Structure 1
Amino acid sequence: MSNPIVKGFWDKPTGSWQYVFHDPDTMKGAIIDPVLDFDPLAGATSTKNAERLLDYVRETGIDLIWILDTHPHADHFSAAPWLKAQTGAQTAIGEKVTGVQVLWQGIYNLPDDFPKDGSQWDRLFPDGDEFMVGNVPVKVMFSPGHTLASITYVAGNAAFVHDTLMMPDSGSSRADFPGGSSAELYNSISAILALPEDTRVFVGHDYAPNREAACEASVAEHRASNIHWKDAPSEADYRAVRDARDATLALPKLMLAALQINIRGGRLPEPENNGSSYLKLPLNYFESR
């Protein structure tokens, strides 16, 4: 068995980290959480970020076999379908995505025939599922809290923890989105930080507070210095801090657009009779809750 070589790609406009990891022995590899660029003022999408990932894959000689999302993102569109079209690699996400589809179908008032079975992906991973990327073993950990569908990919000695943890100086991610739960987030973080101390933890976001953007810290570093975890908080204490912080946060600026794309697996809505796709936004929905 091997440990993966990991390359991170930061998208400054959304603060998102995207990853390519590969097995150095077989050169089999995977992409995690690729970003499809979106300009909300122009209503325009582009593939600048995805092309960066694809260029790296080709230049490095990686045989890409998976395009993996950790959850339906609220702050960027997934580029998984575009990358699949370029490479033929399979797409995957956690099986609980179907619950997110049902939830947001209601919020967007989408028609009854909107697919809610996760068929927009090639594979839906249950908790505890295992697969190989070359000689790198990958285990799926169900990690709800930030969303009800979030998963962590533990690939050898690397854990891709999506939006559960931030870098140690930023703590953890919010749990107030529809389907989120600070109690479940506490349990998910507990499970992640029970991994071996030398496990490399790769986060989904960094907003670079007064430093260069960073994406990696070990389990030991999180246990010792993560501002939401270093004092070994009880569930009640953690939830009090997390819930109080979440109450001060505005919605991500792309959330209402992004979820509409990402419950479709990163696809735009079907074009209308003029050939254009349109986003449907629920006005005043969250202000009324």
Structure 2
Amino acid sequence: MSRVDRNPDGEPSAATADASRLDVGLEWLPRGLAVPALLGAVLLAYFVVPFAVFLSRTREVDVVAGLADPTVRDAIATSLVTAPVSTAVATVFGVPLAYVLSRASFRGKRLVEALVLLPLVVPPIVGGVMLLTVVGRYTPIGAAAAALGVPLTDSRAGVVLAQTFVAAPFLVVTARAGFDGVDPRLEEAARTMGYGRLRTVRLVSLPLARNAIAAGIVLTFVRAIGEFGATMMVAYAPRTMPTQIRVSFIARGIDAIVPIALALLAVAVIVVVVVQLLVGTPRRH
């Protein structure tokens, strides 16, 4: 039992009372986490305060009228079409790559891992320039695509290319972490039961790594729908929500971007909530 200091009247001392109140206030935290929690709270406040201040401006702005602007509606529609496509492309190709990087050992693996991370360390606008050297209007690929009626710049296809370039690495990195957390012995047990490699992945590996994959999908979608730099270089038109935010800010200031910024925030929040409801969150036992 802990020692309780008391004053001459037999009542707990002021220091003891203050300590007791502090213990009660922190009793919901596991022992030893008070200091990390306080430090983390500082960063959390740094995240929350700008959101709160920005949202407070909605009282001064006609959000409905702003969302009724045809250019804003077109930007929202473009983002809502292209971001899911980019996320789907990243998922279809990224999850298999993540599994291979998690399970296979081969010459040049370190180089492949570095190449996956490259779009994360290159500034998005530089990534857009790099894409233009491959799919630009006057490149062999870009010219051939344009001749077939599918231009790869200043089009929704260009938006998808830019979004996928900057966002797909999030899926690969997160999904690989999920596969790394799956005990290979479980896969080996499934193989001894007669399951082939693909069936083992489908029935064992993917379900066990689903939370990490879902997190990667969310990160990829949010990164894609919020992408600006590479998208602006590859496909300034049609405008996505981030591009329209930039144009509106330059033309009319902060109040002009409040409606479309709220739409962008709402889409991101809805996607996160839906994925959490469908997949669930990992539980500690």
Q: Report 1 or 2 for greater relative contact order, CA contacts < 8 Å, sequence distance ≥ 6.
A: 2
More strand by percentage: 1
Fold conserved between structures, TM > 0.5: no
More helix by percentage: 2
Larger Rg: 2
What is the TM-score of this pair, normalised by structure 1? 0.24
